[in-house]
Amino acid sequence: MPDRQPPAEPALAAATISRAVQAFQAGRPEEAISLSGTLLRADPGDAAAAWVWGQVMLTQGRSAEALGPLQATARLTADPAIEMLLGRALVNLGRADEAEVVLRQAIARSPGFEMAFLELVDQLNKAHRLSEALVIAEQGLEAFPTSHAIRLALGYVLMRRNDRAGARAQFSQVRDEAPERHDAMVALAEVLVLDGEHREAARLYRAVLDQRPEHSTARMSLARCMLEIGERTEAEALLRAAVRDDPDAARVAITVLATTAHGRLFLRPSAAQRFL
């Protein structure tokens, strides 16, 4: 980052942060980096500026550039939000062990930071350390009992541990408390599919598509459920629509057809392409 500048007045700093957020949301990441970076150069301990700057830098795949300034802000502030971003940058750079140390430090802070728990659970999940991920998810839910995001993360850990009843309970609670959350409906539908309850899963996938018609995963999953229960005509129409909207979805659609009870198996890829 360029040379340090005098700190901005609080009102000006707040306005600059707001402009940076607006720029990022409007698809102008370089402007957001410039605005928040100006504040961070003036005051490396400005956690608000570091939060916006770090998020944009990581989104842009610039973890190596983000690392030093995030480390400096984390040292100056002991802010778990900044430590979460630092942990993510370290993971992106292949330094998972260091990231874990930082993330465990972040979740031990008081007051805590919800996303730090989610980040650590995600990293442990990816490392197939499911027992540890379960402990952290449960700790996170204890710290943030109303967090739907942590409850969903806990449900996915339970599902990976083949505790489908436990996962179903967590996903169902989120669905009941926040019926607008399509991710909870998708998660619950995934458990239902594993338990062979394809009709009920299909109902949930339809509800997701009512909210998000563009949700390609839900459309493909609904088609799979329809094939499993023998509703081939509707299923094939769904698959054709998915491929029409996104030609790259053809491979997934062919897999769905080939791996379901009432699907179709094509000897030549070209025949499958013509069918779709």
Tens-digit pLDDT profile for residues 71-90: 999 999 999 999 999 999 99
User: Among positive and negative, which fits the CA dihedral 187, 189, 193, 196?
Assistant: positive
User: Among positive and negative, which fits the CA dihedral 148, 149, 152, 154?
Assistant: negative
Is CATH 3.40.50.300 what the domain over 81-162 is classified as, yes or no?
no
Q: Domain 1-77 is classified in which CATH homologous superfamily?
A: Tetratricopeptide repeat domain (1.25.40.10)
- End-to-end Cα, the chain, rounded Å: 52
- Least trusted range by pLDDT, from 98-107, 164-173, 226-235: 226-235
Q: Is the pLDDT assigned to residue 265 strictly greater than 80? A: no
Question: Range(s) for CATH 1.25.40.10 in the chain?
Answer: 1-77, 81-162, 180-276
- Per-residue pLDDT, 271: 60
Task: Select from 3.30.565.10, 3.40.50.1820, 1.25.40.10, 3.20.20.70 the CATH code of 180-276.
Answer: 1.25.40.10
- Least trusted range by pLDDT, from 100-104, 166-170, 208-212, 258-262: 258-262
- Per-residue pLDDT, 2: 45
- Per-residue pLDDT, 272: 57
102-144 tens-digit pLDDT: 999 999 999 889 999 999 999 999 999 999 999 999 999 999 9
Average pLDDT, the chain: 91
